[in-house]
Amino acid sequence: MYKNRISDTAALRDGGRMTPLRLASAGLLVLTAAALAAGQAQGQHRPPPGMEITAAPAVEDKMLGAPPSEPIRREIEDLVTAEGVEARLEGEVGHGAMTAIRQAYARHVFEPIWTRKGAFDFYDAVASNFDRGLVVEAVTLQALDGMIRARFGDGPERAAEADVELTTAFVRLAALVSGGLSDEGKAVRPRRHGPNRALLTELIMRAGAGDADAALGEVEPGHSQYDRLKDAMKHYREIAAAGGWPAIPQGELVYRGQRDPRIPALRERLAAEGFHALGQTPGHRLDRLDWQLAVDLKEFQRRHGLKPDGVVGPNTLEALNESVESKLDRIADAMHRWRLQGDMGRRHLWVNVPSFTAEGWNDGHREISMKTIVGRPDRRTPVFSDQVEYVVTNPEWNVPVSIARKDKLPRLQRDPGYARRGNYKVFDRETGDQVSPYNVNWHDPESAERYKIVQGPGDANALGRLKIIFPNQYSVYMHDTPDKHLFEEAQRAFSSGCVRLQRPVAMARWIAGIDPQLSDEEIEEKLASRENDWMPVKEPVPVHITYITVTVDDQGRAHFWRDIYDRQDGIRAATRMAPLHAPHSRNISEAPGDFRNNG
C-alpha cells in the first residue's frame, strides 16, 4: 500500500518523431535551472495572438437549445472508440486513463469537451507550470497553440482530433503533476481523497469547461511540504530575477571580530537571500565580522546543515557559493520526489536522511520530531517505505556478517577478550552452540560467516534500550544508541545504515498513543525490567525514509541540506556555483584600518 509504484510518466519524456497526439505533451520536463535563468518562464503567459478568450460556441448552442454539431460528434466517437485509434491512445496514456477519457466523452455525448475558455486556461496552466517545479519547452506551447487553433478553426475532422489531443495532453500533464497515473486510471498522489477513474473523468470535464488549473491541483501531492516548496520556488525565482548573488573568494578562516577584505561580499551574499540587513553597519567596520553578522551567519549555517559557529570556513563558503539556479534545481527536485512519494497515510513516521530528522505525523499535523543519526556514505541508509510492526525493549544485537567482518574481526584478532568486555556472545551457526571467543580462529576469513556474534542487552548495547522494527529487505530499523553525544553534531552520518533516534522512548510512546494495544506504562515497565522483550503493534504505522535535500519549516523558511551521499539520480544543477564576487567601484582596500585577522 505504501510502496512507490512504477507509473506511466515515462511516456511523458518520449522523444523523436511523434504523432500529433504524442506531440501534445512532449517537452513537459522536470524543471532545470537553465530554463529559469534564461527567464523563459517569467510572467503570465496569455493565449496566442488573435485568440482572445470568448464564450465557446458549443456552450452558447447549449444555452440556446440548438442541436450539437453531428459531424464533429461522429468524428470524436470514432476517435475514442475505434479499435486502432483507441489502441494508439491507450499506448499514450495507459489503459485506465484511456477508460477515463472514453467515459468523459460518453458523458458529453461525444461532443467536444474543450471550450475556448477551457483551452486557453489549459494553455496558461501549462505555461505556468514552473510554479509546480516543472517547465515546458517552446515546442509544447507551439503544439498547444496549433491544437487550440485547430479545435476552433478547422473542419470537423481536424477539430475532433484536436479536441481529443487536448484531452490526452491534459491527462499526460495530470500524470506528471501527480507523479503518475496507475493502470486503474487513479492518480497515485491524492490531495484530499483517493482519486479514482470517475474523478479523473470529472477532472477532464472540469478542465475542458475552463477550470484546468484547479483540476490539476486536485492531483498534486497532499503533503504540506509540497505546498511550502511551491512558495519557496516562487521566492527563489524572485531572487534569481533580481540577479542572484555573487560567490565569495576562498581564503583563511574568519572568526567573529576579525577583519577580512571578503566580509563586504559576505554581507551582500547574506542580504541577497534575506539573512542580513544592509545599511546598518558604519562604513569603517564593513570589513569586520561583527556580532550581528556572526548571528546572521549562524542562522544561515543552521538552515544549511552546518555547525552554527559563525565562522567563515570552507564548508560554509561552499554553501554560500551555491548559485540560486542550483537551489531552484534542488527545490524542483524536492517537489518531484514528493510527487513520487505517494500517499503516506493519515498517521505515519517520516524519516528524512539529509536533514537527520524523524517526525511523527497525524491528520496533517506534526506531533513529534527529533534528531537522527543515519548511515555513513559507505553504509547508506536506504530509501523505502514500510510499516512499524513491533517494538523491542532491551534488545539484543545480532551483529550483521558485514559489520562483523569489517569491524569486529579486527578487534577480536587483536584480543578475543573484547567479546566479554563488550557483552558479546559467540555462537556456532551450524550447531547453535555457544563457543568461547578464545577458541575461534578469528584470522580465518570465513569466521564471520561461521560464527554469529550477539551483544546482550545493557547500557553499552549498540541498539541502546529500545528498537522499533519494520521488517524489510535491508535489515534497517530505528533504535536507541549509547553514543548520545553524536546528536550534537550537525552532520550525523555515523551509523551502518540503521536510523538512530535521539529520543526513541518518546517515539515509542507516540506510537503507543495512536495504538490501543500499547501503553506508556507497558513500555516503561518492560524497559525497567532490563529483560529483552518485544511488543506487537496492533495497527501498523507507515514509516517512510526519504532523501530530500530541501525542506521548509513551519515559518516558511527553506532549509538546504547537504547531499551527504552525493546522489546522482536527482536533478543536477545546471550552474552549481555562483559567479565570483566583483567589488564595487570603491576599492575595499581604501577602507580605514588594516585587514589582518587581528580579532
Residues labelled catalytic = 479, 498
Given the DSSP bridges, would you call strands 134-136 and 28-30 parallel, antiparallel or unpaired?
A: antiparallel
CA gap 313, 315 in Å, rounded: 6
For 442-532, strand residue ranges (E) read 451-455, 466-469, 478-479, 493-495, 499-501
**C-alpha triplet 564, 28, 171: angle, nearest 5°:** 115
277 Cβ partners below 8 Å, 6+ apart? Answer: 271
Contacts of 170 (CB under 8 A, 6+ apart): 122, 204, 207, 208, 212, 215
Q: Which three cell numbers stand for residue 161?
A: 482530433
Q: How far apart are CA 112 and CA 135, in angstroms?
A: 28
In DSSP terms, 347 is beta-bridged to 362
- How buried is residue 107: exposed, middle or buried, by Cβ count under 10 Å (0-12/13-18/19+)? middle
Q: Can you say whether residue 194 is alpha, beta or left, with left for phi > 0 and alpha for psi between -120 and 50 degrees?
A: beta
What is the enclosing helix (H) or strand (E) of 174?
helix 156-178
Torsional class of 434: left (φ above 0), alpha (ψ -120 to 50), beta (otherwise): beta
Task: For the chain, report the end-to-end CA distance as a whole number of angstroms.
Answer: 59
Among 401, 395, 453, 398, CA closest to 424: 453
Secondary structure of 46-74 in HEC code, one letter for each residue: CCCCCCCCCCCHHHHHHHHCCCCCHHHHH
State the residue for C-alpha cell 479545435. Answer: 151
Look at residues 371, 377, 374 and name the one whose alpha carbon lies nearest to residue 353: 374
Strands 451-455 and 466-469: unpaired
Listed in sequence order, the residues at least 6 apart from 556 whose beta carbon sits closer than 8 Å to its beta carbon are 228, 231, 232
Q: Which three cell numbers stand for residue 517?
A: 494495544
CB 171, CB 97: distance < 8 Å: yes
Question: Shortest CA distance to 325 belongs to which of 265, 227, 269, 241?
Answer: 241
- State CA 6 to chain mean position distance: 17
Quickly tell me which residue has 455525448 as its cell. 109
Say how many C-beta atoms besides its own lie within 10 A of residue 480's C-beta.
25
The answer to whether 8 touches 93, Cβ cutoff 8 Å, is yes
